[in-house]
Amino acid sequence: MTTTLTGANSFQLQQSLRQIIGDFIRVHGDLALEKLDAVEATYEQILGAVESLPFLASKKMVVAYDLSLNKEAAEKLEQLIGRAGDSTELVI
């Protein structure tokens, strides 16, 4: 599943993100959460996080902050979303 958080209200975006992450951690634990700053990370690092299997959990969540600011990742967004397996929840 892919969740996209967009909009101009940064407070509401942060609140929604905290809620999504909190709900996920309550069920799957914090070891199943991976956060990436897409400005700092390469496309390959982001793709690796999306494709990798969960560790000690049935699902994992990958949160990619500011993905639109990573030119390569933004251009290959469709491929990135398509590579997320059933056991991966991607939050952009």
Average pLDDT over residues 45-62: 89
Q: With 90 as the cut, is the pLDDT of residue 55 above it?
A: no
Summarised one tens digit per residue, pLDDT across range 71-86 is 998 899 889 888 888 8
CA distance 53 to 51: 7
At residue 24, the pLDDT reads 94
What's the token pair of residue 53? 């299997």
Beta-strand pair 2-3/88-91: parallel
At residue 16, the pLDDT reads 94
